[in-house]
Amino acid sequence: MRIFGEHEENTLRQFRNVAARAERAALMADGHLGYVMPIGGVAAYRDEVSVVGVGFDIACGNAAIRTDLHLSDFGPGGRESRVRLGAIADEISDVISFGLGRTNKADDAPVDHPLFEDPAWDAVPAGKRHDLLEKARAQLGTVGSGNHYVDVFADEGDRIWVGVHFGSRGFGHTVASAFLALGQGRQWGARVPEAEVILPLESPLGQDYYGLMELAGRYAYAGREWVVRKVVELIGGREQELVHNHHNFAWRETHYGETCIVVRKGATPAFPGQLGFIGGSMGDDAVIVRGAVPEPGSECEVLQTEALYSTVHGAGRLMSRTAARGKVERKTGRVIRPGRVSPEMMHEWVRRKGVVLRGGGLDESPHVYRRLPEVLAAQRGTIEILHTLRPLVVVMAGPDVFDPYRD
């Protein structure tokens, strides 16, 4: 059991409970309390998969593209560049759909993708299959809300990158909810408490879940790559390099000489040489990283092994959503209890950073997150930072956008 960084006791308690049921486990430095398994948790099982470990937003992940553009392509600097970046932010908001469904201008998402003909769909009850297929088609390439985003960055060489963060939307949420119910002896669609459900892969139920989970992974990849490429096209760039990872998923891997199922909940795979894109917050830098290539027998090799070749997926929350934004009566907008973050605090932070922001709620303010450089340092050399990405444009759903699949 390996723990990176420092964590609150309730997070550690939750992690120890998960570790007691797994073969091996690790907690990344961005860890915080989740449903049953902490965000940032990694657990290896022998021929089993944890439904709540993978989580509700199956295959949530990050994708980033390095373009052939440079910062100078947006103007000579100063007001002219900011006006151009503001226009880009507005166009992203107009073209890409945030929230629940595809509502904006772009309507060429790959809804005829071969994944919609995959035999794994047969695991969905016949009476539910058509509706789930239609929901999945309607939401493919929608970014959602909460901490999901589309960003335009400049790296240390002023090269322009586009990055996105979102997952399998209502499709993945429906699959997770259904197998959480089935694993507790209830029917598909029944509402049940969030509880640990570990399915043996040799069982029909385990096979059905794993097949649909992998399908949700293909779905998330298709949606993210469509959105990130659409934005590259929108800003007039061409793709030079793609970095793409899940961080809510289960993989069949070999560790300590044994084949196992590794569940990473809010953790990024980071095998030696493997690339990853890790976001910070709307007002902080992001990074492109690579799993370190260690000397045999070195401390780095030991740490990577104990981490199950995993790293952080972001900076990690320090504050709950309710603590950040307060409690507001939905119908009237009346503030029942003020939060710890004000609009002035959030906008002052992003203004000082020079970010053009569209959307974003107080519960996504930089104040609610750890600082990413500290989190990366706590991973103790198991990853290398290749590029530091400075946010220029951040586009998120507005705080009032309805979306039941926020995170």
Q: Give the domain CATH number at 127.
A: 3.90.1860.10
Instruction: Give the model's pLDDT for residue 99.
Output: 81
Confidence (pLDDT) at 104: 77
Residue 258 has pLDDT above 90, yes or no: yes
Helix (H, G, I), strand (E, B) or coil at 86: helix
Counted residue by residue, the chain has a size of: 407
Q: Which of 275, 196, 142 is nearest to 15 (CA)?
A: 196
pLDDT of residue 401: 77
Q: Sorting pLDDT into bands at 50, 70 and 90, what band is 400?
A: confident
pLDDT digits (tens, 9 = 90+) for 190-212: 999 999 999 999 999 999 999 99
Any domain includes 175: yes
pLDDT for the residue 54:
98
- Phi and psi for 100 in degrees, rounded to 5? -80, -45
H runs (alpha helix) in 191-311: 204-234, 299-306
Alpha carbon distances (Å) from 106 to 101, 190, 262, 351: 12, 35, 36, 29
Instruction: Please give the pLDDT value at position 405.
Output: 67
CB-based burial of residue 366 (10 Å sphere; 0-12 exposed, 13-18 middle, 19+ buried)? buried
> Does residue 407 fall inside a structural domain?
no
Asked whether the predicted pLDDT for residue 406 surpasses 70, the reply is no
At residue 327, the pLDDT reads 87
Could you list the residue range(s) of the whole structural domain that residue 192 is in? 2-395
In order of 172, 283, 350, 355, the CA distances from 347 in angstroms are 33, 9, 5, 9
Task: Give the count of domains, the chain.
Answer: 1
Under the banding of pLDDT at 50, 70 and 90, the label for residue 402 is low
Q: Tell me what pLDDT residue 15 has.
A: 98
Give a yes or no: residue 404 inside a domain.
Answer: no
Tell me, yes or no, whether 189 lies in a domain.
yes
Tell me the helix, strand and coil percentages in the chain, rounded to 5: 35, 30, 35
Minimum mean pLDDT range among 256-270, 316-330, 337-351:
316-330
Q: Is the pLDDT of residue 407 over 60?
A: no
Least confidently predicted of 29-43, 293-307, 322-336: 322-336
Which comes out higher in pLDDT, residue 359 or 80? 359
* Residue 268 confidence (pLDDT): 97
- The average pLDDT across 32-53 equals 97
Percent of the chain with pLDDT over 90: 90
| Residue 145 within a domain | yes
Q: What pLDDT, on a 0 to 100 scale, did the predictor assign at position 353?
A: 96
* pLDDT tens per residue, range 164-190: 999 999 999 999 999 999 999 999 999
In a domain? residue 133: yes
CA–CA dist 157, 136 (Å, integer): 39
H/E run at residue 92: helix 78-95
In this predicted model, what pLDDT tens digit does every residue of 211-227 receive, in sequence order? 999 999 999 999 999 99
Note whether residue 401 is domain-resident: no
Query: What is residue 333's predicted lDDT score, i.e. its pLDDT?
Result: 67
Per-residue pLDDT tens digits for 48-104: 999 999 999 999 999 999 999 999 999 888 788 899 999 999 999 999 999 877 777
**Residue of 47, 46, 2 whose CA lies nearest to 309:** 2
Q: Supply the mean pLDDT for the chain.
A: 95
| Confidence (pLDDT) at 48 | 98
